[in-house]
Amino acid sequence: MDYSIRPLVIKQLKDVFGCKVYDEQIQQGLKTPCLIVDVKPVTRKRLANQNDKQVFIVLLHYYTEKTTDLYQKFEEIETVFHSPSFRYLGDKYPINDLKVEYNANDLICTFTITRYVRWVEEEPRMQILERIGETSHGDNGKTEDKNSGTNH
């Protein structure tokens, strides 16, 4: 399945939140505030006329800098997730099933993205073949019969 949706998710998160976005597990050096994102394919359904319906699930963890008003910060982030700037991914793909939860340390957000794409199969390319006994020097279609030595 095509994972080209991951860069769109990362770009939108950076544009909307203006913080560091990690898309791989990090062992050391986590800089807050940041988002850790994971995008996984859920379903792919073949439709008519070479179309596919692809559904992805996105799991986000938001880690904030140390603050005394942790829940207030989480509420601000949740408000952004529910705002118009987060209804579509890249102005193309609708964001569905948005859920936001937070606990003592981090905010967790999940949503799905549905994408309809048209798939195309590459057609085989024609190969250029040379006819035996012909040259490519433009002899006006005349060939020489090698057995008799006459031109045709």
Percent of the chain with pLDDT over 90: 17
For residue 46, is pLDDT > 60?
yes
Q: Which helix (H) or strand (E) holds 59?
A: strand 51-63
Using CA atoms, how far residue 76 sits from 48, 70, 72, 81, 91, in Å, is: 43, 10, 6, 9, 23
Q: Is the overall model pTM greater than 0.75, yes or no?
A: no
Can you read off the two tokens belonging to residue 50? 């070479």
Whether the pLDDT of residue 117 is over 90: the answer is no
Q: How confident is the model at residue 145 (pLDDT cuts 50, 70, 90)?
A: low
User: Is residue 16 pLDDT above 70, yes or no?
Assistant: yes
Q: How far apart are CA 72 and CA 75, in angstroms?
A: 5
Query: 125 or 115: which carries more pLDDT confidence?
Result: 115
Phi-psi region of 133 (alpha: psi -120 to 50; beta: other; left: phi over 0): left
pLDDT tens digit string along 57-86? 999 988 888 777 888 888 888 899 888 888
Is residue 30 over pLDDT 80? yes
Q: Write down the mean pLDDT value for the chain.
A: 80
Residue 72's pLDDT is what? 87
Asked if residues 3 and 43 have their Cβ atoms less than 8 Å apart, the reply is no
Residue 95 pLDDT exceeds 70: yes
Mean pLDDT, residues 86-98 taken together? 87
